[in-house]
Structure 1
Amino acid sequence: MQEAPYDFEAGAILLIDKPLTWTSFDVVKKTKFALKIKKIGHAGTLDPLASGLLIMCTGKFTKRIEEIQAQEKEYTGTFTIGATTPSFDLETEVDSTFPTEHLTPAMLEEAAQSFLGEINQVPPIYSAVKINGERAYALARRGEEAEIKSKRITIKAFDLMGIEGNQVHFKVVCSKGTYIRSLARDFGLKLGCGAYLSKLVRTRIGDYRLEDAMNLAQLQELREKQLGQHDRHPGA
């Protein structure tokens, strides 16, 4: 947990450990309420089904949001192979299953390594990408089809940390704009067995790390501690 003095209203960079199921906007709203401040934003959205590092900028530091968002990201998580979902994660139900008995660890490793470097990636239809001014996920939830253009991204590292049955645990280091859900889909396509993202934790953005983050209860406690120190009279 961070142990530094902050001037929340004037400007601060806060590292928050986003809970599972919360949207990034939920964290913004709750942080704004907890700190009683006016100007706040986040640097890089995390899906509700992802947890981990979310960077909040307050006051004058909101000007640094784009700079922080552009930095390299690191994630750990799990792909479930042998099945697919329309959203490429657990937001939607499994729609197809495939055999995986023929796959070997070497085949999985080879597939992972094939994504290293600069690649073209198509964002998920269940995403905040805009299509003709409307969010893609809104179209998807209405059952409408839409074409999403690919983006150029960079995968710096794609390490398989362990394999347990159909659960493939990984660590990925990537550029801004990378969708790990899309990487799950493409990993499954490469293997010919389908895959979806079943767990995701963001562990780093640039030099900012999850182990230095705090939850909202700790942030509230820090604010109250600082207010108490501010209000204390000399010699009290």
Structure 2
Amino acid sequence: MQDKIFAVYKPKGPTSHDIVDEIRKLTGEQRVGHAGTLDPLASGVLVIGVGREATKNLKEVVVAEKEYIAKIRLGRTSTTDDAEGEKKEINVKNYPSREEIAQTLKNNFEGKIHQTPPIFSAIKINGREAYKLARRGMDVSLKPRTVEIKSISLVRYQWPFLELRAVTGPGVYIRSLARDLGRALKTGGYLADLERVRVGQFRKEDTVTLKLNASRLSARSYL
């Protein structure tokens, strides 16, 4: 297979590295990489490079803007900021209105913001991934980063769930966005579902679907 950059649709379950490994097996090419990790519980557009030149050129895709559809569960927090972690119920006496949520999104989360990545992430602390330290019960402290959310809008809302659409620059964690929105609304919140519908010029409708062999999928998370 000649050098090529294309997009696949990653289903929920496998890691982004699982997809890369599957493509290596399908093509026989070891130089395979991806641009922009999707967590195992997320689905959507994953851009793949096959071959030396293609994998080198993925760095241009990594910094491209990305578009997401996110479903957030209010009224609870999660240790991982998504549906996989341990949940804690929050006693919410007054449910936020649709108008309040829309205004909070615009005022607090649109433009350049400071965002602290989730502790269950692959960010390295002294050479070790944060999620490995967190799983051992160690204190993990990550510094806020300046990231850009180019646009964000409320799609639908019925307590305790809301759905939003966000167009972001590189480095944005939607799990952190869900967590921080819950804090801003004083309801708590975590990411219940996530679909990435675009990476740069690659859209959901442009993707190919892989037939994955479940027996070969790893149990790795947050890689």
Structure 2 residue 180 is matched with structure 1 residue 180: no
Distance in 2 separating the partners of 1:47 and 1:100: 33
Q: 1:18 aligns with which of 10, 15, 20?
A: 10
Give the corresponding residue for 2:79.
86
Offset of residue 216 of structure 1: 1.0
Spell out the pairing of 1:22-37 with structure 2 (5 A cutoff): 22-37=14-29
Distance in 1 separating the partners of 2:160 and 2:89: 14
Offset of residue 35 of structure 1: 1.6
Distance in 2 separating the partners of 1:98 and 1:85: 15
Give the corresponding residue for 1:190.
184
Where does structure 1 lack aligned partners over 5 or more consecutive residues?
A: 1-7, 219-236
Spell out the pairing of 1:137-156 with structure 2 (5 A cutoff): 137-156=131-150
Structure 2 residue 218 is matched with structure 1 residue 214: no
Q: 2:98 aligns with which of 102, 105, 110?
A: 105
**TM-score normalised by the chain length of structure 2:** 0.91
- Write the deviation string for residues 56-84 of structure 1: whole angstroms up to 9, x where unpaired: 10112111111110100100020001110
Q: 1:43 aligns with which of 27, 35, 46?
A: 35
> Superposition RMSD on alpha carbons, in Å?
1.3
SS at structure 2 position matched to 1:63:
helix
2:171 is matched by which residue type in structure 1? G
2:100 is matched by which residue type in structure 1? M
Give the corresponding residue for 2:215.
none
Give the corresponding residue for 1:157.
151
Offset of residue 217 of structure 1: 3.3
1:61 is matched by which residue type in structure 2? A
TM superposition outliers: structure 1 runs of 4+ over 4 Å: none
Partners of 2:95 and 2:159 within 8 A in 1: no
Distance in 1 separating the partners of 2:93 and 2:83: 20
Distance in 1 separating the partners of 2:30 and 2:40: 24
Distance in 2 separating the partners of 1:100 and 1:19: 37
**TM-score normalised by the chain length of structure 1:** 0.86
Structure 2 residue 140 is matched with structure 1 residue 168: no
Partners of 1:84 and 1:194 within 8 A in 2: yes
Partners of 1:79 and 1:197 within 8 A in 2: yes
Gap change, CA 1:41 and 1:51, over 3 Å in 2: same
Distance in 2 separating the partners of 1:100 and 1:24: 40
Spell out the pairing of 1:46-125 with structure 2 (5 A cutoff): 46-59=38-51, 60-99=53-92, 101-114=94-107, 115-125=109-119
Structure 2 residue 125 is matched with structure 1 residue 126: no
Distance in 2 separating the partners of 1:168 and 1:99: 16
Gap change, CA 1:214 and 1:145, over 3 Å in 2: same
Q: Who wins on radius of gyration, i.e. which is larger?
A: 1
Give the corresponding residue for 1:223.
none
